[in-house]
Chain A
Amino acid sequence: MAIDAATIEQLIKESLPDAHVSIEDLRGDGDHYAAHVVSAAFKGKTRVQQHQLVYQALRGRMGNELHALALQTSLPED
């Protein structure tokens, strides 16, 4: 079961509208991605909480259809 990068980006942006999302398909198999998400919503949150926001945006797909998403989160630069 695979999921395409555009879908991942769309889901993240639905929950975090200001997010800058860059996604790389690591193996070209639609199953192993690396995503870098930049959003002001991460402000004041721990890394765990930041990643949880992204996982919530993916609504249960992470760990199911989406086997591997290496995640990096950061705040927008001022």
Chain B
Amino acid sequence: MTDPVVSDRIMRDITDHPVVLYMKGTPVFPQCGFSAAVVQILTHMGVKFKGIDVLADPALRQGVKDFSSWPTIPQLYVKGEFVGGCDIVREMFESGELKDLLQTKGVSTRAA
């Protein structure tokens, strides 16, 4: 069960920001290789995103897992929708699907 206070906060975060990454550590200092990999992909694509450090908040760390029924961090949200964790983001990046998704959702990526 998601704590309603925490899930409200997640809803607000993913509504207020077009691209949100729940991660371990910060975009500048990721604390986990999987989080670092997603940061690297987004940075490489020139996507502006809000990184939220779940290590700073144990309730959020559990809450975001409950929210998405997804057991691991990182978690990427685009326009309020859960896109996936590290494996899915990487697969989508490699196939070009991530760029398509971002463009469809109106998120700007760096011009190739």
Contacts and interface: CB of A to CB of B under 8 A. Distances in A.
Q: Which of under 10, 10 to 19, 20 to 34, or 35 or more describes the interface residues of A?
A: 10 to 19
Contacts of A48: 70, 82-84, 88
A37 to B, nearest CB: 12
Question: How large, as a class, is the contact surface on chain B?
Answer: 10 to 19
Contact of A55 (B71, B83, B86): B71
Given A48-B82, A63-B65, A71 B87 contact: yes
A51 to B, nearest CB: 7
Contacts of A68: 34
Nearest to B34: A68
A51 B88 contact: yes
A52 interface: yes
